[in-house]
A and B are shown apart, each in its own frame.
Chain A
Amino acid sequence: MKTTKTRLLALAAATAWMAIGHAAVADELSIMASGGAWQDAQRKAWFEPFSKETGTKIVEQEYLGDLGKVKAMVETGNVPIDLVTVETATVLQGCDAGILERLDYSKIAPREKFIEGSALDCGVGLDAYGDILAYDPTVLKEAPTSVLDLFDTKKFPGKRAMRKFPAQNLEWALMADGVAPADVYKVLGTPEGVDRAFKKLDTIKKDIVWWDAGAQPAQLLASQEVVMTTAWNGRIQNAIDTDKKPFKIVWNNQILEYDMIAIPKGAKSPDLAYKYLAYISQPENNAKLASYITYGPVRTDAASFVAADALPKLPNAPDHLAGAYLVADTEFWGDYGEDLVKRFNAWLAQ
């Protein structure tokens, strides 16, 4: 029943894609993003202005961020999208699997103008977001001062929510166990380091509620299912600004990551796609997104273009980088991701 439904949905989606694919003309750019507040922000900051400036019609599509669908499109040779937004780790997977185009940065922007790690072979950075800790001060009397307070169950008793994924959690576990941020990936690259991280996670395992979808942390806090949760900063800020929740964000020991955009192999209008990438990679345009969602620019020279009222909420605002922080190592997760995910799942089941 469920599988039938999924298949029907897939069929409907495939038909829709085909229809759009055939309708595509030279001046149409098809972008697939992962929906929600983030896509709304991109529409206001980039889709609409780009459309107005160039006369290009932008066709939007949504997906859940799983590259399996893009792989299916590329393998069947029918690629009705020109651009797709992806997570950093996904860019690496897609690059290796040969389903994303290797980018020619001479058509986009000088590669060295991007923050380190935000301009990859197959994906350009769109924005920087932070993996942070969030809590509700009306529930938690004492304020946590670092993300690593996750591991202090004495001072902060109660359930805490963490993402059901090894990335970030293993890094935080090592840092909580005394590893300096600069050494985290070196230690995690050894079997002993992995054991050490899991041992640290063991100490709070029974107090953890795991989340999958980005919207869950705010819900878990709101329903008081947990006293603190890890989250993507934009989701929590959205709950604070839009839903008027009293949540607070802890930036100390945050992990910085980048959202990316990529061109799937076999895209119908690659030239137009490059034109769009060049457009959003101009520093003043790159800074615009921050006005609509609290994710920071990825160009080193874009900070001065960020709207004054948006700056204090960004993960890479100077204040939020004053404490300790870690930049996620994409290459490391490209190497060990699949293995650590398996080990993490085995550990969860124990």
Chain B
Amino acid sequence: MSALQPSELDRPPLARGRSAADADFKSASAVLRRADFGDRLRSLALAAPLLVLLALSFGIPIVLLLSRAVYDPTIANALPQTTQALSGWNGQGLPDDAAFAALAADLRGSQAKGTAYELAKSLNARLPGARSQVLKTVRQLEAAGDKPPLDVMKSVPFWSQPGTWPAIANGTHSITSFYLMSALDLRWNNDGGIERVPPEQAIFLQVFMRTFFVAAAVTLATLILGFPLAYLIASVPKGLAAILIVAVLLPFWTSILVRTAAWTVLLQKFGLVNDLLLWLGVAEVRLDLMYSRIGLIIAMTHIQLPFTLLPIYSVMRTIQPSQMKAAYSLGAKPVTAFRRVYLPQVFPGVMAGCLLTFILCLGYYITPALIGGASDQLISNFIANYVNVELNWEMAAALSFILLVLTLALFGIFARILGLDRLKLV
């Protein structure tokens, strides 16, 4: 403990001479190391409340939620006997009567345990239409009386259709790749191989690409608008710079929902933007800016502008104008001076601003919902739909997981190429 350090230092050395000096040196460095360790421990203790808070409110819930993407024991829990009966099934054709009988017993059991509905819902996610069939069969089994359960099962055509049993067998594994595969528009075929889902069901890859495209377009647009503006603010006198900064920050302090709603007013067919374009003669007919990709990018660019601009501005402010003058005096043309003296110094700020905007754009939800058209919905919109409407949190977790992995991968590549130490966020 660090409080003991001074007394340890005061302690007389055990021996004298050369080896004693060595020992002195060694013990001193050990003491130093220990002191260092103590310091680190102390700062860790100071940060502990924050770390614990982060772990409890951020880390653990995220891990728990994401684990749903691969862990879904609903079917296995509801169908213990069927799980056992299917363990030897080769997946071809229909399983033997024992499996049918086991399923009948499980269905009756699920009725008693009250898990029939959960089972129906979970199976339905894998096999559309299964929900009502499960519930119907449960009801028939209950009303069957003397009729053997096996006959009841055989009398419902659904249980003898191809596709039904592979889906059940697949569902009996609690650890599942089903949701992650679905999130990538893939599925297992009957031969145990991986195949793409049919085109009319394939959607998520396209949405992921769209999300990254929109994020990149918005990042580029904020850079094109933000860089010159940051330069202007950094080069005008202090008073004027303050006014300009407030002008940039004012919308920043307004709720994102309000800003989005304001854009719907501006962009609509009989809105101000269309009025202006028509009056200027730029457009001859009223443009469909609302519910379109271009409208979405305009609104998102406006919202994201401060995020890109501020890091660039904070770096530009530190660059002495005399450097450029020095470059000119040494014969550099303005373009050369800008490229070789100014740009390398601003670069970390540019990268930080762009990275901030790009990653924030990946999570956009309200703006695409309100301004984007049907084909402009980003991945967050789909995640929200699965969480709130379909109550299929497994699918939502799988999509979130893929988004997280893609984002981290991108961040990793970025950090590798540019080096994180070159990022200047503020």
Q: Which residues of A are in contact with B by a Cβ distance under 8 Å? A: 1-3, 5-6, 64, 66-69, 71, 90, 93-99, 164, 189, 198, 208-210, 212, 223-225, 331, 334-343, 345-350
- Expressed in whole angstroms, the minimum distance between the Cβ of A72 and any Cβ of chain B is 9
Q: Is B269 touching A96 in the complex (CB atoms < 8 A)? A: no
- Among all A-B residue pairs, the 6 with the closest Cβ atoms: A66-B388, A339-B128, A68-B388, A96-B121, A348-B374, A346-B203
Q: How far is the CA of A6 from the CA of B206 in the complex (A)?
A: 26
A189 with B129: CB separation less than 8 A: yes
A336 with B128: in contact, given A93-B391, A348-B375 (CB under 8 Å)? yes
Tell whether A210 pairs with B291 under 8 Å between CB atoms, given A96-B131, A225-B268, A334-B131: yes
The residue from A93, A210, A334, A345 contacting B382, defined by CB atoms under 8 A apart: A345
Which of B40-48, B163-171, B312-320, B365-373 contacts the other chain? B365-373
**Residues from chain A with Cβ under 8 Å of B360 in the complex:** 1-2
Is B132 touching A335 in the complex (CB atoms < 8 A)?
yes
A343–B128 Cα distance when bound, in Å, is 12
Main secondary structure of the interface of A (DSSP, over half): helix
Give the chain B neighbours of A350 by CB distance below 8 A.
375
The answer, yes or no, to whether B425 is at the interface (CB within 8 Å) is no
A210 touches B385 (CB 8 A): no
Closest Cβ of chain B to A347, distance in Å, is: 7
Closest-CB distance, A55 to chain B (whole angstroms): 35
In the assembled complex, how far is the CB of residue B272 from the closest CB belonging to chain A, in whole angstroms? Answer: 12
Query: Which of B87-95, B112-120, B324-332, B413-421 lies at the interface with chain A?
Result: B112-120
Listed by A's residue number, 30 A-B pairs whose Cβ atoms lie within 8 Å are A2-B256, A2-B364, A2-B365, A2-B366, A3-B363, A5-B256, A64-B388, A66-B387, A66-B389, A68-B387, A68-B389, A93-B389, A93-B390, A95-B117, A97-B391, A164-B374, A210-B373, A225-B270, A334-B132, A338-B392, A339-B128, A341-B385, A341-B389, A341-B390, A342-B201, A343-B200, A346-B200, A349-B207, A349-B210, A349-B375
Is the CB–CB distance between A67 and B363 below 8 Å? no
Residues of B close to A335: CB separation below 8 A: 124, 128-132
**A199→B41 CA distance, assembly (Å):** 67
Tell me if B202 counts as interface (CB < 8 A to partner A): yes
Chain A positions within 8 Å of B290 at CB level: 225
Q: List chain B residues, Cβ under 8 A from A209.
A: 291, 373
- Whether B132 contacts A349 by the Cβ 8 Å rule is no
B325 to chain A, nearest CB (A): 39
Produce 1/0 per residue, B349-393, CB < 8 A to A: 000000000001001111001100111010000100101111111
Report the bound CA distance from A75 to B154 in whole Å: 37
Closest to B290 in A: A225
Interface string of B103-136 (1 = CB under 8 A from A): 0000000000011011011001100111110000
Given the known A-B contacts A66-B389, A224-B270, A331-B132, are A96 and B120 also in contact in the complex, defined by CB atoms under 8 Å? yes
| Chain B residue contacts of A336, Cβ below 8 A | 128-129
CB neighbours of A66 from chain B (8 A): 387-389
Chain B, residue nearest A93 (CB) = B391
In whole Å, how far is B173's beta carbon from the nearest beta carbon of chain A? 21
| A2 and B207 contact, CB distance less than 8 A | no
Which residue on chain A has the smallest CB distance to residue B382? A345
Taking CB as reference atom, which chain A residue is nearest B265? A223
Complex formed: what's the CA distance from A93 to B392 in Å? 10
Across-interface contacts of B199 in A (CB, < 8 A): 346
Chain B residues near A (Cβ < 8 Å): 114-115, 117-118, 120-121, 124-125, 128-132, 199-203, 206-207, 210, 255-256, 268-271, 290-291, 307, 360, 363-366, 369-370, 373-375, 377, 382, 385, 387-393
For the complex, what is the distance from the CA of A335 to the CA of B126, rounded to whole Å? 11
- Whether A223 pairs with B391 at a CB distance below 8 angstroms is no
Q: How far apart are the CA atoms of A209 and B291 in the complex, in Å?
A: 8
A1 to B121 CA separation, bound complex (whole angstroms): 35
Complex CA–CA separation, A336 to B255 (angstroms)? 38
Instruction: Evaluate whether A347 and B200 lie within 8 angstroms (CB atoms) in the complex, with A2-B256, A96-B120 already known.
Output: yes
Bound-state Cα–Cα, A107 to B145, Å = 29
> Closest Cβ of chain A: how far from B310's Cβ, in Å?
13
Contacts of B291 in A (CB 8 A): 209-210
Q: With contacts A2-B366, A349-B207 known, what are 14 further pairs, Cβ within 8 A?
A: A2-B363, A6-B365, A67-B389, A96-B121, A189-B129, A223-B269, A225-B269, A335-B128, A336-B128, A338-B125, A346-B203, A348-B374, A349-B203, A349-B210
Question: Does the CB pair A96–B117 fall under 8 Å?
Answer: yes
B369 to chain A, nearest CB (A): 6
Chain A minimum-CB-distance residue to B255:
A5
B residues near A340, Cβ cutoff 8 Å:
128
Residue of A nearest to B133 (CB): A335
Cβ contacts under 8 Å, B269 to chain A:
223-225
Q: Could you tell me the distance in whole angstroms from the C-beta of B401 to the nearest C-beta in chain A?
A: 16
Given known pairs A96-B120, A335-B124, the reply for A68 and B373 (CB within 8 Å) is no
Complexed CA–CA distance, A94 and B388 (Å): 11
Interface centre among B203, B290, B375 (most CB of A within 10 A): B203
Q: How far is the CA of A141 from the CA of B353 in the complex (A)?
A: 53
| Cβ-defined contact, B369 with A212, below 8 A | yes
Q: Which residues of the partner chain A approach B121 to less than 8 Å between Cβ atoms?
A: 93, 96-97
Give complex CA distance A334, B392 in Å: 13
Contact B268 A68 (CB under 8 A): no
Chain A min CB distance to B288 (Å): 8
Q: Least Cβ distance of B161 to chain A in Å?
A: 13
Q: Which chain A residues lie closer than 8 Å to B382 at the CB level?
A: 345
**Cβ–Cβ contact B201 & A346, under 8 A:** yes
Please tell me which one of the listed residues B200, B256, B392 contacts residue A1 in the complex, with CB atoms under 8 A apart: B256
* Cβ contact within 8 Å between B128 and A210: no
In the assembled complex, the CB of A325 is this many whole angstroms from the nearest CB of chain B, namely 24
Q: Are B203 and A97 closer than 8 Å at their CB atoms? A: no
Residue of A nearest to B117 (CB): A96
> Could you tell me the distance between the alpha carbons of A3 and B131 in the complex, rounded to whole angstroms?
34
- Chain B nearest CB from A17 CB (Å) reads 17
Q: How far, in angstroms, from A148 to B249 measured CA to CA in the complex?
A: 49
Contacts of A90 in B (CB 8 A): 389
B187 to chain A, nearest CB (A): 13
Of the residues A98, A210, A338, contact of B124 by C-beta under 8 Å: A338
Q: Which residues of chain B have C-beta atoms less than 8 A from A68's C-beta?
A: 387-389, 391
CB nearest neighbor in A for B119: A96
Specify the chain A residue showing the minimal Cβ separation from B396: A68
In angstroms, Cα B271 to Cα A102, docked, is 49
Complex Cα distance, B121 from A335, in Å, reads: 9
Please, which residues of chain A bring their CB within 8 A of the CB of B375?
A: 348-350
A334 → chain B, closest Cβ, in Å?
6
Q: In the complex the two chains form, is A98's CB within 8 Å of B114's CB?
A: yes
A-side contacts of B115, CB under 8 Å = 98
- The complex places the Cα of A67 from the Cα of B385 at a distance, in Å, of 11
Interface pair A338/B128, CB less than 8 Å apart: yes
**CA–CA, A95 to B114, complex, Å?**
11
Cα distance, A224 to B274, chains bound together (Å): 13
A349 and B118 contact, CB distance less than 8 A = no
Q: How far is the CA of A100 from the CA of B409 in the complex (A)?
A: 40
